[in-house]
Amino acid sequence: MRWVVRGLLVLVSVACLALAVIYGGSEWAIRKSHAVALPNIVADRSPAGVAEGGRIASAMGCRGCHGPNGNGVLLADVPGVIHAATPALARVAASYSDAELARLIHHGIKRNGQGVYVMPIEGHSRIADEDVARIIGWIRTLKPSAADRTDTLSFGPLARLGILTGGLKQEVIETPRATAKRPADTGAYIASTVCAGCHSLTEPREAHDDGRRVPPLLEVAPAYDLPAFRKLLHTGIGLSPRDLGLMGRVAKGDLSHLTDDEVAALHAYLQAEAAKTPAK
């Protein structure tokens, strides 16, 4: 009996030591600071700028992740893994300057210098400065309310193990990518901002929610003529009635805010790129 007790004590000690290593190492990674200068971006508070900022925030997925009115959304709650709640935008903005919000959007770096997780900075990093100014102008119109979520992002042991081993990384891009003005090639711009949150041009990825295969854009585009492509982006219905998962939900909630001209420009860009890319 004595050996059984000792064995159990050893196992408990090893488990506690492992948890301490996982927690300590992951916390060090979470608290890592990034030195990126604040950009010279000021909120566009003009009525036209705010209106366009709200539309862009919808198309870019800001309202899809933070809620239609920016109150915050519970994206996932998996015990022992992750509690992913997005913050209320008005409450975040209250303690951030315009430049700090711009750095958060473009680089994934919070006010305290730490990086973000979950937020899709790959696409945000290429949003033109003038569009970021418009988005911030829209955010500045939001007010804290009783509907705001007050919980936040937290990691369980399994997620912390992922952080420690590199499987779950901060969404930080330190090198500036954005242009000052919205590029003339609207299609390429939308592909590199709106679509890039989920899709690569040439390589498959995994869906954020269920892990299903996310096809590269240049694999999908050739199959769609413009009317079918517009239907896909505005309704989430593809060439067959099958459930497209996250794509279907994003289309209805986010991509439906793209104008017909933007959809046509994106379609033309992807068709042209697909024609230049040899089939695999």
Q: Rounded to an integer, what distance in angstroms lies between the CA atom of residue 202 and that of residue 127?
A: 21
CATH classification of the domain holding 251: 1.10.760.10
- Residue 4 forms part of a structural domain: no
Give the domain range for residue 198. Answer: 186-276
Q: Do residues 163 and 27 make contact, with C-beta atoms less than 8 angstroms apart? A: no
The pLDDT value recorded for residue 25 is: 77
Shared-domain flag, residues 272 and 191: yes
The pLDDT value recorded for residue 204 is: 85
Q: Which residues contact 126 (CB under 8 A, 6 or more apart)?
A: 177, 178, 189, 192, 193, 196
Phi and psi based region of residue 71 (left: phi greater than 0; alpha: psi -120 to 50; beta: remaining): alpha
pLDDT tens track for 26-51: 888 899 999 899 999 999 999 999 99
Q: Tell me the C-alpha to C-alpha distance, in Å, between residue 68 and each of 94, 110, 199, 229.
A: 18, 22, 23, 25
| Domain end marker among 155, 170, 202 | 155
How much is the pTM?
Answer: 0.90
- Residue 124 forms part of a structural domain: yes
Shared-domain flag, residues 51 and 149: yes
CATH classification of the domain holding 126: 1.10.760
The pLDDT value recorded for residue 246 is: 81
Beta bridge partners of 115: 109
Q: Tell me the C-alpha to C-alpha distance, in Å, between residue 62 and each of 24, 235, 266, 272.
A: 32, 19, 20, 29
CA 213 to chain centroid, in Å, comes to 18
- Residue 151 forms part of a structural domain: yes
For 194, counting Cβ atoms within 10 Å of its Cβ (0-12 exposed, 13-18 middle, 19+ buried), the class is buried
Q: Do residues 116 and 172 make contact, with C-beta atoms less than 8 angstroms apart? A: yes
Beta bridge partners of 82: 78, 155
Q: Which amino acid is present at 125?
A: S
Structure tokens at 176: 């500036």
pLDDT tens track for 80-132: 899 999 999 999 999 999 999 999 999 999 999 999 998 999 999 999 999 99
Shared-domain flag, residues 206 and 263: yes
The pLDDT value recorded for residue 18 is: 61
Q: Do residues 77 and 83 make contact, with C-beta atoms less than 8 angstroms apart? A: yes
Please identify every stretch of the chain with a pLDDT value under 70, giving residue numbers as ranges.
1-21, 208-211, 278-280
The pLDDT value recorded for residue 209 is: 60
Structure tokens at 97: 């300057």
